[in-house]
A = this chain, B = another copy of it.
Amino acid sequence: MTIRDVAARAGVSPATVSRVFTQPDAVAPDTRRRVLDAAEELRYTPNPVARSLARRRTGNLGIVVPDIANSYSAMIIKAVQLEARHAGYALFVAASEELLDDEERVARALAPQVDGLLLASPLGTDAYLRELAELVPVVVTNRLVDGVSAVVAESAETTGHAVEHLHALGHRDIAYLAGPDGYSNTRRLAGLRDAGDRLGLRPVVLGPFPARFSSGVRAADLVLAAGVTAVVAFNDDIAAGLLNRFADRGVRVPDHVSVVGHDDTALAEMVTPRLTTVHIPAGAAGVTAAQMLITQLRGDNGAPRRSELSSELIVRGSTGPAPARPA
């Protein structure tokens, strides 16, 4: 069923049929009726591929995340997907699996078939990201690159608040479980160090660990061996792994050791005790990034924009007063 079939059936030219579907009030009401009826009878629906070619825009957005199964990514994808659909875009999703090469390959493959690209916590170099941004409108999250629009929902300060919180509870020996090298980990580490310096603490840094539950399980024993009374983990998954292993070893949280996560994913509320964690507004970041991209696509000049969302320490049950002596 092509536009020409419909045109023939309705006794008009293909151009008119096209208009009916793109600028309906550029065509006389009764002609429109005839065309719509013909389209209906033929069960015609415009071919989006042909339309993309002619219009030179696809109506698609793409997003590249480090790992789909990771709940932080999932929150962003979900937000972006909703926002995209709302604006009439479909969404391509691709995962880099935390591999630099894949990220680049995937992004380049996606670029020519989308109108805009979102990169969540990208690993690539600044130069590559800028180059990609030449090719297609790009918005990155959790990353700052000159000349590329960005949404960050990451503040070193808030990690600092976590340290202050622990310090106020009497903790003096704190460990940080590093995540994969990248913007987030660097910022979190910086916030930790700053606050540590201010308060006269020298946090022990362990890792880097993959940002997974199993890393936390493994790290738990290292933490105990390090003789600290509190741990700040790169993310909630790692923190949940800690809690799990601590429970198995009979180490009570927060009585023996306090645990702080990052991200405030759904998991934080699901574990026992609930996680004290640095809330990163992933959903809001996704929405903002998507909107930013879409406004850019609507012509709003090409100047890169930047948006900063505020994070916040959420105190729950996994932190408490430091024990008299380390676990």
Contacts and interface: CB of A to CB of B under 8 A. Distances in A.
A136 B69 CA distance: 27
Nearest to A91: B93
A69 B58 contact: no
Nearest to A73: B74
A114 to B, nearest CB: 10
Interface in A243-276: 243-244, 247, 266-267, 269-272
Contacts of A91: 92-94
Interface in A46-93: 47-50, 52-53, 58, 60, 67-69, 71, 74-75, 77-78, 81-82, 85, 90-93
Interface of A: 45, 47-50, 52-53, 58, 60, 67-69, 71, 74-75, 77-78, 81-82, 85, 90-95, 97, 106, 109-110, 112-113, 213, 240-241, 243-244, 247, 266-267, 269-272
A91 B64 CA distance: 11
A141 B321 CA distance: 49
Does more than half of chain A's interface fall in helix, strand or loop, or is it mixed?
A: helix
A226 B77 CA distance: 39
A68 B81 CA distance: 9
Contacts of A97: 82
A243 B269 contact: no
Contact of A69 (B45, B49, B60, B266): B266
B74 A85 contact: no
16 contacts: A47-B53, A48-B112, A49-B113, A60-B92, A60-B113, A68-B74, A68-B78, A82-B95, A85-B106, A90-B94, A90-B110, A93-B93, A243-B272, A270-B270, A270-B271, A271-B271
Given A85-B94, A267-B270, A271-B271, A112 B47 contact: yes
B71 A71 contact: yes
A95 to B, nearest CB: 6
A92 B94 contact: no
Contact of A81 (B60, B94, B110): B94
Contacts of A92: 60, 90-93
